[in-house]
Amino acid sequence: MKKLSFMIAIMVLLLLTSIIGSANAAEQSGNAIMPGIVSVWGSSTTAVFTTAYITNISATDVTCIVTWYDHDGNDVTNYCKVYSGNNSSTSNQLIASGTGTFTLPAGSTRFVHFYSQNQLKALYGHAVIKWTSTNSKLRQALIATGRVIGTSSSNDTQNAYSIPINNNKAF
């Protein structure tokens, strides 16, 4: 009987340790939808494309996952490029290409470019911006804004308008 009680006590302790351990390891996450994405490459001199500026407002690094869906709901994230600024050059620094997954350091901003440089594509749709973190106390990590830009180098013009993401609130 003592042996059985001891075994039950050990099993209960193992179960409690497992529950507490998994509660601490639970990932926190948040997401927002970015509507109104467009990418049309008219020619080598005209184009319309969408960008998103995503800022980590937390004190913790997060993993950011941006998934781009076209007008038929197909995942076209392979056309995304993620950039950072560059303190030693006027060129953006490429962080990720063909994938929308990247680490976003605390307090940092990244620029996501939704653009298919392909004359056979006119993509309209939306994106889902998601973040995850192992910091169990983190509730909101990102703030983001989008922009649609139309350019024509033949007559040197550019038009743009903003896309509010999550009503311009943190998520």
**pLDDT value of residue 10:** 52
The pTM score is 0.78
Q: Which residue has the tokens 């990932």?
A: 27
Q: Tell me the per-residue pLDDT of 22-51, one tens digit each, with 9 for 90 and over.
A: 444 578 999 999 999 998 877 667 788 899
Distance CA 105, CA 107 (A): 6
Contacts of 37 (CB under 8 A, 6+ apart): 50, 68, 114, 123, 124, 125, 126, 127, 146, 148, 163
Domains of the chain: 28-168 (2.60.120)
